[in-house]
Amino acid sequence: MPELPEVEVVRAGVEHWVSGRTVDDVAVLHPRSVRRHTAGAGDFSLRLKERSFTAVRRRGKYLWLELDSGDAMLAHLGMSGQLLVQPREHAAERHQRVRIGLGPAERELRFVDQRTFGHLLIGPLVEDARGGSAGVPAVIGHIALDPLEPEFDDDVFSASLRRRRTGIKRALLDQSLISGVGNIYADEALWRARLHWARPTAGLRRPQVSDLLKHLRDVLREALSAGGTSFDSLYVNVNGESGYFERGLKAYGRAGRPCERCGAAIRREVFMNRSSYSCPGCQRAPRS
């Protein structure tokens, strides 16, 4: 699933093309893609048509396009969702689900989603209870700040993390504690911080949490610079281009390969119905 860097790359690309544009046509081609818009596809189209996009924002893995009506169109990409900007005459993508015409330019914003796990919905913006400077869609009010937001408070996060009774990676994936971090970047940050994914949060010292946050921000920014991580053709930016940060991965997906720091073979372990990668030499597992 796309994580913070991938969603931010998409957000920046969408903003370039849609900010200030007025919607002159909407076509919902698959109802499942607007299933979270409970008023239905007709209402979704009605609330978009003849409205202008004023800004494109992101929190964690969610992005939303603000409208001059005071509402916003929330987009969650899921496992395979793509937001593409194409000329109107461009051939339809095989898994195109929603098409939004952008006037006066002869372009369209297209939601393409092979597995239809992603979704779009329109709803009101509310005051950000998490302390952000802009409003957020009401349906994601529970999502925590992400570590690249200026309002993110390291001390508050450290205290909250250390009060938890769980493993460090499970905590990093909890979007109510910190948003935008998924399996790939959690493994990469933990490798850099020399922390095993099962390390209990309650035993962490504040300097260790500060060090982990530093490495987490570093890896997220490096991934952003590389356009994100693409293991297949499902994650692309608005121009249909893949990211290349997978070339810089140190732990994730490297099972059996030597650790670049100590030479031990990277180990793959089952974690929450997915995989977790770590170095048995640099990231010692906690005693059971």
2 is catalytic: yes
**Residue 164 annotated as binding?**
yes
Which residues are CB-neighbours of 201 under 8 A, at least 6 positions away?
Answer: 161, 162, 164, 165, 166, 167, 168, 171
267 is catalytic: no
CB contact at 8 A, 121 and 135? no
CB contact at 8 A, 1 and 182? yes
Only one residue has tokens 């990469």, namely: 188
Q: Can you say whether the dihedral through the CA atoms of 49, 84, 181, 268 is positive or negative?
A: positive
Coil, helix or strand for 101? strand
d(CA 100, CA 278): 43
d(CA 91, CA 182): 33
274 is catalytic: yes
Catalytic site residue from 57, 61, 99, 110: 61
**Residue 30 annotated as binding?**
no
61 is catalytic: yes
**Residue 95 annotated as binding?**
yes
Which residues are CB-neighbours of 99 under 8 A, at least 6 positions away?
Answer: 25, 26, 27, 29, 92, 108, 109, 110, 111
Which residues are CB-neighbours of 275 under 8 A, at least 6 positions away?
Answer: 183, 255, 268, 269
List the one residue out of 142, 263, 248 whose CA is nearest residue 188: 248
The DSSP letter of residue 140 is G
Q: Which residues are annotated as a binding site?
A: 95, 115, 164
Q: Which residues are annotated as a binding site for DNA?
A: 95, 115, 164
Q: Annotated active-site positions, please?
A: 2-3, 61, 274
